[in-house]
Amino acid sequence: MSTSINQTTVATIVQRRPLIKGRFYHSSTNEKIFEKIFLVTFKIVRDDLSYDHNDPDDNLEYDHEFFYQYLTTNYYVRCKFISHSAVLDLLNYEYDVNALYNEPPLTPSQKYILEQSLMVELYLRVSKETDEIIVGTVQD
């Protein structure tokens, strides 16, 4: 007597809450912005009025701002250039991010390169908290 086993492939979607906000430091390997370090902050764009007016990240003067979309979620991304002398201050003492270090503003080309270099980093950070598809096999 033969026994047949039926196998079915099943995909399960595990829903997670989207990442609301985050921050990290970023440095690009592109020669036009090479060796520049940026503080990158991002937060989800919301239609409701639950905006946090006490967010310390909102008090910074950013060098570049843009929007990033992951699936159906939009993020507002801001980049603050941090000079090497400021990095030393940050590592050794308390640091004022808005202190002037006489750095020229980013050119449009540098802003574009910065955005492109951040795409993978942003994807890796925001995708950790979103839907995950798990594919498995079920035997009948």
Q: Answer yes or no: is 133 within a domain.
A: no
Residue range 17-60, pLDDT digits in tens: 677 888 888 887 766 666 778 889 999 887 765 666 677 888 88
Q: Answer yes or no: is 134 within a domain.
A: no
Q: Which residues contact 45 (CB under 8 A, 6 or more apart)?
A: 67, 74, 75, 76
Q: Answer yes or no: is 33 within a domain.
A: yes
| CB-CB contact of 103 with 92 (8 Å) | no
The single residue listed with the structure tokens 């202190």 is 99
Q: Answer yes or no: is 138 within a domain.
A: no
Buried b (16+ CB within 10 A) or exposed e, 10-45: eeeeeeeebbeebeeebebeeeebeebbbbbbbbee
Q: Answer yes or no: is 96 within a domain.
A: yes
Q: Answer yes or no: is 49 within a domain.
A: yes
Domain range for 54: 12-128
Q: Answer yes or no: is 109 within a domain.
A: yes
Q: Answer yes or no: is 39 within a domain.
A: yes
Q: What is the pTM of this model?
A: 0.62
Between CA 64 and CA 71, with CA 66 as vertex, the angle to 5 degrees is: 150
Residue range 79-138, pLDDT digits in tens: 998 887 777 777 777 656 666 666 778 888 888 888 888 888 888 878 775 555 555 555
Q: For residue 12, what pLDDT band results from cuts at 50, 70 and 90? A: low
Q: Which residues contact 61 (CB under 8 A, 6 or more apart)?
A: 80, 98
Counting the structural domains of the chain, the total is 1
